[in-house]
Amino acid sequence: MKAFMERLVSRAAGQGSLGKAAELAKIQKEKEVLEEHLERLQLLANATKVLISDELDYEKRLKDLGEVVVPAFADWCAINIVHGRPSYTLVTSASPEKRAIAEEIQRKYPPRPESTYGISDVIRQAEPRLYAALPEDLMRQTTQSEEHYQLLRQLGIVSVILAPLVARDQILGGITFVTSDSGRVYTEADLDTAAQLANSAAISLENALLHQELMEANRAKEKFLAMLAHELRNPLTPIRNSLPILAAKGDDDYEVKDIVDIMDRQIRTMSRLLDDLFDVSRITEGKIQFQMEGIDLLALVQSIIQSRRAELEKKGFKFSVYLGEGPLVIMADRVRVEQVIVNLLNNAAKYTPSGGHIALECGREGGQAVIRVRDTGKGIPPHMLKKIFQLFIQVDQSIDRPEGGLGLGLTLVQILVEHHGGTVLARSEGVGKGSEFVVSLPLAVSPLPKTADQHPNRLVQDSPRRILIVDDNEDAANSIGKLLRKFGHEVQIAYDGIAALEEAKAFAPEVVLLDLGLPILDGYETARRLRSAVPDRNKLLLIALSGYGQEEDRRRAMEAGFDHHLVKPFDTHELRALLNAWTPDRS
């Protein structure tokens, strides 16, 4: 278009006659008008590009918009946001000195919402306004003091356009476009352009704000879920600890044995749900550290099969295993990879009727370590194959669904697999036709795992220790106490930090199990004092008990003088293994 106009002008000029002079002037004028149009279109196109970008951080969007507008359309501009937060202002200017002055004005004299002049009035009236030249009396009326007025004068303002940011029915704020050094005088056409710019900006800002609100709501939800899981896990500890005692008592009473079995199964299910809930929240918040090491995936799969086969076959499933050539070395957190495989096997068992077939396959495929879990169960409809990995999504969401569950397991599987640089996908021919879950993990560069697991944790016989248990949850403290006494230990209990310090003087414990969340004197401080009384770690073993297993808690516990950190509800085997692995120096 521009090139075409140039040609037209030069052709008219070439004719040279006087009669053509008028035509030349006309064409010249049209050329200028068209060029102006082009500039406006270019400006709006650039602004649109910024405003529809993937950038959803709303402050960044404002900044990018400012950079499109200055200097193409204004010498400086200020964007005032009044929605959601008290007031947010961003100033962009071509000249650093002018920008500094403008920022000083915004800082010292932010627009007063109640003002009946300037941007505050435009925001209230939701109508754009043009001042081709800034009237002196308006300068006086809009400024809040003599200093304010003088600062404004230093800006050397020529023209001003004020435009409201209105999205749907909401007024989000306003934009002030100002010219000074360029000498540009705004026109009615500029007012139109400014209004269009403000409209697009408002819609885009509203999207960014909605996104921000959604993210905040999501964060609040995740925080709540983590807290919920934590609060629900705590009461489970004493119940879980009491079960072995009940089981021992009912050794020859079938009714008691039955009840203990039921309780054990239900508590395990509940613990698993709560652990999943807790894990999802902690991993998405980046609060779990993965203990990466070279592991042989095939060996891990074999040990999982050993522990699961009997249970699956007892439930009436035909269980097949196909393992490729080993070793299959991956860099991974052993516990987390086991969690992935066990979750998939549990789901296969959950969604396949008894008598069905479950297959576990593991091997090398196309340079990756691949695990497949197949079943002949209820299958998954095609439109749900991707969705089931989202939090809380279940194919059957009726309240009386026979399988129970919260829709967390696959979310966790996906998060864990992705943390290992891998992928997981679901396949199914459709409802009633079984499902297949395929996990692919990158192979490690080093050929063999350094630490082959040759000695699985075998428990040795308990040797008696003097143990002090400190927990303000009396049920939890008493139930652990009872259990440890049964294993032959000498036990004392305290319900707060001060009492623990007193008891420690009289009882001289070799081991202290200390809850971190104690009232008055918390677990960390109690540990610090116990440790300073007995610094020798061969004479005093300090074990922290906490509801949170975050890396930060672990680190703080170690700094306070603890030797170990157990997350409640902890496994009794784990505690006994710790106790048995430590021999006190009784010299």
Q: What residues make contact with ligand ADP under the rule CB under 6 A?
A: 347-348, 350-351, 375, 377-380, 388, 394-396, 405-411, 435
Alpha carbon 524 to its chain's center: 28
Q: How many residues in total does the chain contain?
A: 587
The nearest distance, CB 567 to ligand ADP, in angstroms, is 22
Find tokens 């106790």 and name the residue: 579
Helix (H) or strand (E) holding 202: helix 188-249
* Residue with smallest beta-carbon separation from ligand ADP: 405
Q: Which is nearer to ligand ADP, 203 or 305 (CB)?
A: 305
- The CA distance from 8 to 31, in Å, is 9
Contact (Cβ atoms closer than 8 angstroms) between residue 332 and residue 292: yes
Cis before 449? omega within 30 = no
Residues 575, 581, 585, 586, CA torsion sign = positive
The DSSP code for 267 is: H
Taking the complex as a whole, the smallest distance from the CB of residue 248 to ligand ADP amounts, in Å, to 33
In the complex with ligand ADP, the residue whose CB is nearer, 178 or 416, is 416
State the minimum distance, in angstroms, from the CB of residue 364 to ligand ADP: 24
Return d(Cα 317, Cα 211) in angstroms, integer: 46
Report the nearest approach of ligand ADP to the CB of residue 349 (Å).
8
Six-digit token pair at 483? 């259990």
Q: Rounded to the nearest 5 degrees, what angle is found at the Cα of 67, between the Cα atoms of 62 and 70?
A: 120
Q: Give which of 212, 199, 181 is closest to 88, Cα–Cα.
A: 212
Minimum Å gap between C-beta 406 and ligand ADP is: 5
- Give me the least distance between CB of 109 and ligand ADP, in Å please: 55
User: Is the peptide bond preceding residue 447 cis, with omega within 30 degrees of 0?
Assistant: no
Least distance (Å) between residue 243 CB and ligand ADP? 24
CB 326 within 8 A of CB 299: yes
Among residues 250 and 405, whose Cβ is nearest to ligand ADP?
405
DSSP letter (8 states) at residue 291 = -
- Long-range contacts of residues 300-306, Cβ cutoff 8 Å, at least 24 apart: 300/334, 300/337, 300/338, 300/341, 301/341, 301/360, 301/362, 301/371, 303/453, 303/456, 304/338, 304/341, 304/342, 304/345, 305/360
201 alpha carbon, distance to own chain's centre: 28
Q: How far is the CB of 419 from ligand ADP (least distance, A)?
A: 17
Residue 294 vs 379, nearer CB to ligand ADP: 379
The helix (H) or strand (E) run that includes residue 418 is: helix 409-419
Look up residue 129 and give its two tokens.
């306004």
Closer CB to ligand ADP, residue 411 or residue 546?
Answer: 411
Smaller CB separation from ligand ADP, 73 or 351:
351
Nearer to ligand ADP, 43 or 342 (CB): 342
Give Cα 568 to chain centroid, integer Å.
Answer: 23
- For the CB of residue 409, give the shortest distance to ligand ADP in the complex, in Å: 3
Nearer to ligand ADP, 233 or 489 (CB): 233
SS3 of residue 485 by DSSP: helix
Report the residue number, 49 or 386, with the smaller CB distance to ligand ADP: 386
